[in-house]
């Protein structure tokens, strides 16, 4: 059996903006050898059902991610900062919207 392994290109992560003004949402990845190919592949793979308004692609290797071990130290400290939320504050009853 000959070796069938060869380059499928880099992995690029794909982010799609569905409508103008909306955030770019991660939807998957594609393989591609260069940036233009990655952009076209993202278009051809992930926007076939009218899902797209704009696209980002970037090499997966460029993504820096937190680890599961970071869970406690990164995110739990935000749990008790209730004063960051509007419901923490009391308003006179006569004011219903602020």
The CB-of-21 to other proteins minimum distance in angstroms stands at 22
81 vs 9, 77, 86, 91, CA distance in Å? 45, 8, 11, 19
DSSP secondary structure string, 16-85? Answer: EE-STTSPPEEEEEEEESSHHHHHHHHHHHH-TTS--SEEEEEEGGG-----GGGHHHHHGGGTT-GGGS
The CB-of-40 to other proteins minimum distance in angstroms stands at 6
| Contact present, 31 and 8 (Cβ < 8 Å) | yes
Cβ closer to other proteins: 72 or 77?
72
Which residues contribute to the site for other proteins (CB under 8 A)? 1, 3-9, 11, 27-34, 36-37, 40-41, 43-45, 48-49, 65, 67-69
The CB-of-70 to other proteins minimum distance in angstroms stands at 10
Cβ closer to other proteins: 68 or 86?
68
Cβ closer to other proteins: 22 or 33?
33
The CB-of-9 to other proteins minimum distance in angstroms stands at 7
């Amino acid at each position: 059996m000959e070796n069938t392994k060869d380059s499928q290109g880099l992995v690029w992560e794909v982010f799609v903006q569905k409508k103008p003004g909306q955030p770019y949402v991660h939807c998957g990845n594609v393989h591609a050898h260069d940036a233009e190919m990655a952009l076209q592949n993202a278009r051809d793979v992930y926007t076939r059902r009218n899902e797209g308004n704009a696209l980002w692609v970037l090499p997966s290797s460029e993504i820096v991610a937190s680890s599961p071990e970071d869970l406690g130290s990164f995110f739990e400290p935000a749990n008790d900062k209730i004063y960051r939320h509007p419901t923490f504050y009391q308003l006179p009853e006569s004011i219903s919207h602020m």
